[in-house]
Amino acid sequence: MLVHDAFTHELDLRVAVGAPVPEDHPGYTSVLDLPVRGFFDRMAELGLPDLRIETPGREWASGRSAAAVLTADRHDLYRSLTGRRTHEQIAALAWSADPTPWLPAFTRGPFRPPTRPAEGILARS
């Protein structure tokens, strides 16, 4: 949890000072599982259909039969799952179906999507 928190705020600082985000930051490898698990838990609480999430080199599924697939760059996925992207920005990621049913699950615990963009989507693949 501490690594996740430190990594999240490192990215916040990079955005605040206009520093680039490294494509292969070692943090992505170790911290993505935690917000993905929290997101899937929130989906279950809300009774949402199963979802598969894909990033380069990684894949997660909330169940056996996904109703949709979300494909995103690791950075864009991480920032979306940690309350740094608006619902509009999240919906603009590559979804195989209408993302509307899953958008409420991006609000959980301390994470609340902002009402206006705080940063842009990187859209790397």
DSSP result, 33-56: HHHHHHHHHHHHHHTPPPEEEEET
pLDDT of 118 over the 80 cut:
no
pLDDT of 117 over the 90 cut:
no
Domain borders along the chain are 2-106
Number of H helices, E strands in the chain: 5, 4
pLDDT of 109 over the 80 cut:
yes
Is 41 within 8 Å of 98 (Cβ atoms)? no
Mean per-residue pLDDT over the chain, rounded: 88
pTM for this prediction? 0.86
Residue 54 vs residue 118, higher pLDDT = 54
pLDDT category at 122 given cuts 50, 70, 90 is low
Does the CA dihedral 57-89-11-62 come out positive or negative? Answer: negative
**Angle at the Cα of 117 from the Cα atoms of 60 and 77, rounded to 5 degrees:** 10
Specify the range with the lowest mean pLDDT, choosing from 4-13, 25-34, 63-72: 4-13
Can you tell me the distance from the alpha carbon of 32 to that of 99, in angstroms, rounded to the nearest whole number?
A: 20
Pairing of strands 94-95, 58-61: unpaired
Looking at beta carbons, which pairs linking 47-55 to residues 24 or more positions away fall under 8 Å? 48/101, 48/102, 48/104, 48/105, 49/101, 51/102, 53/77
Query: Residue 125: its pLDDT value, please?
Result: 44
pLDDT category at 82 given cuts 50, 70, 90 is very high
